[in-house]
Amino acid sequence: MKTNDRQDKVRLIGHFVRDVAAATPVIDAIEACCPDALVDYQHMAISCPNKAHSEPSVKDLTHCYIKRSNGGMTWTCFACSGRGGGPDGGDSVDYVARWLGIPQLRAAQILNQAMGFNIPDPIGGMRGNVQDYVQDRAVPNPKATKTNTAIVQAKRQTAATIDRVYQAIAAACPPDDDLRRKLHGDRGMTDAEIDRDIIAPIPHGIVDVLKDRGITEEDMIGVPGFFQDPESGAVKFSRQGVSYGIIVRDAGGRIVSLMAKYSDSGHKYGWYSSARHNMGISSGAPAGYLDFLDTPGEWDDDIGDVIQDTVTLGRRAPIIVCEGYHKAATVRRTWGLRSIYVSGIQATGGVGQIIRQIALTDGCYLHVIVAPDTDCLINPQVMAGTLHMIDQVLSTGYAEWVRIATWDPHLGKGIDDVIRAAGPDVIRSVKLYRWIGYIEPYVQNYQNQDRDWRRVRVILDQVKASMHLIH
């Protein structure tokens, strides 16, 4: 194999591992692939994947935790030392690799199959049954308690069935007047947006409601949120204390997941998921897509300084990528542009898939604007997630150009806050290479002081190496 081919393969493998990790919450990875690990769901404490450090029971899980922010995409053990001298930790792929004693690539392949992601695997994928492989590799834990009973994950339903079930839920749970007034006032949402994208909290009796609408229990099993009660065998729905739900669609318009806006402001968003239950399944934390407000033929190039002097007619109009549904909805409401959003800045898996789908549907290369929150300059996790997002866009090979949306950080952290507070005219965009030149001194300064920023340095170099893929 030639050196360039080998380097390309290594880069693609790196993209694959990162995409799987970014799409998989740690708790989902543990429940799918580490049945002998202990989990304290109340405190989100877990067995440390470093096998030399083990706990006798769930009650004694006092050192290793799932990070609650960003959808629980990482774990940290405060009893084990990492490379930089601080606490050890990592993402879902890292956890599975350490727990099963396998390379990270193999762990990513297992998760990719177990979670039903279908993220393109550069070396051909995992062969055989994942559960059989996991059971063969798993080390029996004699200290496990009844609270650690292994669960069986359901096989993910087809995209068409998931869409049909969620469409029925949306029809059965329309937003009431109080929720509409709240979203009008707090978010500036229109009735059309609310009707399309928002549902009321899902009630206890949703299974019976769906049956009345022609949805069978066989249809429900394998749809995130539904599971089978181990005692009665009845199909149930995993409800959460939410104030409303957000409908998440792919680039084809199908509903792929339901996001939950929690009533408790301490943890803003999550997913309707049933990964913790027998015959349940993870949401997969997919990226979401919002299409044009009107037909693309009606667009002209007068859509604000965010585009600068770029001519944007029809489907040549740029796509804006950002964190969170409400940011994407504000962008679309302001400029009428298509937008892609992720549930958290570390959950960027799926962005590349949507970019590919749009490019192949449109039959052209895409103009992409990434709109990161301004705290990326001080928070290494946010910067790492932003760079992963950019790298996903670049690695598709379908971007004609990539720009970064910027603004005065004193005006607000997120693009939606800035637009509401100061209007769209304060938003600017810069070419990717100029933005990299701007952030590089920050990264260079921080990397000498902090292990997390040294990781950012690695990702930044990957982005720079991928910039030749821009057409």
52 within domain boundaries: yes
150 within domain boundaries: no
Q: What pLDDT is attached to residue 279?
A: 87
Tokens of residue 250, six digits: 């792919």
Can you tell me whether residue 72 is helix, strand or coil? coil
11 within domain boundaries: yes
Q: Are residues 16 and 51 in the same domain?
A: yes
Q: Are residues 344 and 411 in the same domain?
A: yes
Task: Give Cα 461 distance to the centre of its chain.
Answer: 23
Model confidence at 102: pLDDT above 90: no
Q: What pLDDT is attached to residue 70?
A: 58
pLDDT digits (tens, 9 = 90+) for 147-165: 444 567 788 899 999 999 9
Q: Are residues 133 and 210 in the same domain?
A: no
Average pLDDT over residues 119-130: 65
149 within domain boundaries: no
pLDDT digits (tens, 9 = 90+) for 278-308: 888 888 788 999 987 754 433 333 344 444 4
Q: Are residues 115 and 180 in the same domain?
A: no
Do the Cβ atoms of 58 and 147 come closer than 8 Å?
A: yes
**In which band, very low, low, confident or very high, does the pLDDT at 56 lie, cut at 50, 70 and 90?**
low
Q: Rounded distance, CA 240 to CA 237, Å?
A: 10
Do the Cβ atoms of 325 and 288 come closer than 8 Å?
A: yes
Among 227, 243, 271, which residue terminates a domain? 271
Q: Are residues 460 and 325 in the same domain?
A: yes
218 within domain boundaries: yes
Q: What pLDDT is attached to residue 57?
A: 58
Q: Are residues 293 and 220 in the same domain?
A: no
Q: What pLDDT is attached to residue 274?
A: 85
**In which band, very low, low, confident or very high, does the pLDDT at 227 lie, cut at 50, 70 and 90?**
very high
Q: Are residues 304 and 448 in the same domain?
A: yes
Model confidence at 83: pLDDT above 80: no
Higher pLDDT, 408 or 35: 408
Residue 193 is part of which domain span? 159-271
**In which band, very low, low, confident or very high, does the pLDDT at 35 lie, cut at 50, 70 and 90?**
confident
Number of structural domains, the chain?
A: 3
Q: Rounded distance, CA 431 to CA 447, Å?
A: 24
Q: Rounded distance, CA 134 to CA 119, Å?
A: 20
Q: What pLDDT is attached to residue 370?
A: 95
pTM of the model: 0.71
Q: Rounded distance, CA 270 to CA 32, Å?
A: 19
Cα torsion angle, 189, 193, 198, 199, sign: positive
350 within domain boundaries: yes
Average model confidence (pLDDT) across the chain: 81
Partners of residue 248 on adjacent β-strands: 257
Model confidence at 146: pLDDT above 70: no
**Percent of the chain that is helix, strand, coil (3-state, to 5):** 45, 15, 40
